[in-house]
Copies of this chain bind each other. A is one copy, B any other.
Amino acid sequence: MKKILLFFPFLFVTVSFAQKQDSITLKSFSDEIMLRGNCYEDLRVLTKTIGHRLSGTEAAAKAVTWAKKTLENAGADSVWLQPALVPKWVRGTESLKISFNGNDFENIPLLSLGNTEGTGGKALNAQIVRVPDLEAFAEMTEMQVKGKIIFFDYHFRQDIINTFEGYGDAVIYRWKAVNEATRKNAAAVIIRSVSTGPDDQPHAGSSHYDDGVQHIPAVAIGNLSADRLAEICRNKQPNATLISNCKFEQPVLSYNVIAEYRGMEKPNEYMVVGGHLDSWDVGEGAHDDGAGIVQSIEVLRTFSRMKIPLKHTLRIVCFMNEENGMKGGLAYNDSAMSHNEKHIFALESDAGGFSPRGFGLEMKDSLKLVVKSWKNLFLPYGVYDFEQEDSGVDISPLVKRGIPGAGLLPDSQRYFDLHHSDNDVFEAISQRELKLGAFAMTALIYLVDQNFQSIKPINN
Interface pair A431/B355, CB less than 8 Å apart? no
Q: Which residues of A contact B (CB under 8 A)?
A: 30-31, 34-35, 40, 158-159, 161, 163, 196, 198, 355, 357, 380-382, 384-385, 411, 413-414, 417, 430-433, 436
Chain B residues whose C-beta falls within 8 Å of the C-beta of A34 in the assembled complex: 158-159, 161
Report the nearest B residue to A431, measured CB to CB: B198
- Known: A357-B382, A417-B432; 17 extra A-B contacts, CB below 8 A, are A31-B159, A34-B158, A34-B159, A35-B159, A161-B380, A161-B381, A161-B382, A161-B436, A196-B431, A196-B432, A355-B411, A382-B385, A384-B384, A413-B432, A413-B436, A414-B433, A417-B430
Chain B residues whose C-beta falls within 8 Å of the C-beta of A380 in the assembled complex: 161
User: Which of A34, A158, A196, A357 has the most B CB atoms < 10 Å from its CB?
Assistant: A158
Residue of B31, B381, B384, B430 near A414 (CB, 8 A) is B430
Interface pair B382/A411, CB less than 8 Å apart? yes
Chain B residues whose C-beta falls within 8 Å of the C-beta of A417 in the assembled complex: 430, 432
Q: How far is the CB of A282 from chain B (nearest CB, A)?
A: 19
Q: How far is the CB of A386 from chain B (nearest CB, A)?
A: 12
- What are 22 A-B interface contacts by the 8 Å CB criterion? A31-B159, A34-B158, A34-B159, A34-B161, A35-B158, A161-B380, A161-B436, A196-B431, A196-B432, A355-B355, A355-B411, A355-B413, A357-B382, A384-B385, A411-B411, A413-B430, A413-B432, A413-B436, A414-B432, A414-B433, A417-B430, A417-B432
In the complex, what distance in Å separates the CA atom of A436 from the CA atom of B411?
12
Q: How far is the CB of A383 from chain B (nearest CB, A)?
A: 10
Chain B residues whose C-beta falls within 8 Å of the C-beta of A413 in the assembled complex: 355, 430, 432-433, 436
Q: How far is the CB of A390 from chain B (nearest CB, A)?
A: 16
In the complex, what distance in Å separates the CA atom of A357 from the CA atom of B384?
10
Chain B residues whose C-beta falls within 8 Å of the C-beta of A357 in the assembled complex: 382
Which 7 pairs between the two chains have the least Cβ-Cβ distance?
A413-B432, A413-B433, A414-B430, A31-B159, A34-B158, A355-B411, A34-B159
Chain B residues whose C-beta falls within 8 Å of the C-beta of A436 in the assembled complex: 161, 413
Report the nearest B residue to A32, measured CB to CB: B159
Q: How far is the CB of A442 from chain B (nearest CB, A)?
A: 14
Interface pair B430/A40, CB less than 8 Å apart? no
In the complex, what distance in Å separates the CA atom of A30 from the CA atom of B40?
34
In the complex, what distance in Å separates the CA atom of A417 from the CA atom of B433?
12
Chain B residues whose C-beta falls within 8 Å of the C-beta of A432 in the assembled complex: 158, 163, 196, 413-414, 417
Chain B residues whose C-beta falls within 8 Å of the C-beta of A198 in the assembled complex: 40, 431
In the complex, what distance in Å separates the CA atom of A226 from the CA atom of B196?
38
In the complex, what distance in Å separates the CA atom of A402 from the CA atom of B361?
44
Chain B residues whose C-beta falls within 8 Å of the C-beta of A384 in the assembled complex: 384-385
Q: How far is the CB of A161 from chain B (nearest CB, A)?
A: 6
Report the nearest B residue to A161, measured CB to CB: B381
Q: How far is the CB of A227 from chain B (nearest CB, A)?
A: 14
